[in-house]
Amino acid sequence: MASAGLSFGNPVFAAYAAYASLVILKMFFVVFFTTYTRFSRGVFANPEDVKGNKGAVARLDHPDVERVRRLHRNDLENIPAFLAVGLLYVLTGPSPGVALWHFRVFTAARCLHTLSYLAAVQPWRALGFGAGLLTTISMAVQVLMAGTL
The least CB distance from residue 38 to a copy of itself, in Å, is: 12
Applying CB under 8 A, the residues found at the interface with a copy of itself are: 5-8, 11, 13-22, 24-25, 27-28, 31, 45-49, 51, 60, 66-67, 70, 72, 76-77, 79-81, 83-85, 87-88, 91-92, 120-122, 125, 133, 136-137, 140-141, 143-144, 146-149
User: What string of H, E and C letters represents the secondary structure of 28-87?
Assistant: HHHHHHHHHHHHHHCEECCHHHCCCCCCCEECCCCHHHHHHHHHHHHHHHHHHHHHHHHH
The least CB distance from residue 76 to a copy of itself, in Å, is: 6
The rounded distance, in Å, linking the Cα atoms of 140 and 129 is 17
Q: Which is nearer to a copy of itself, 1 or 149 (CB)?
A: 149
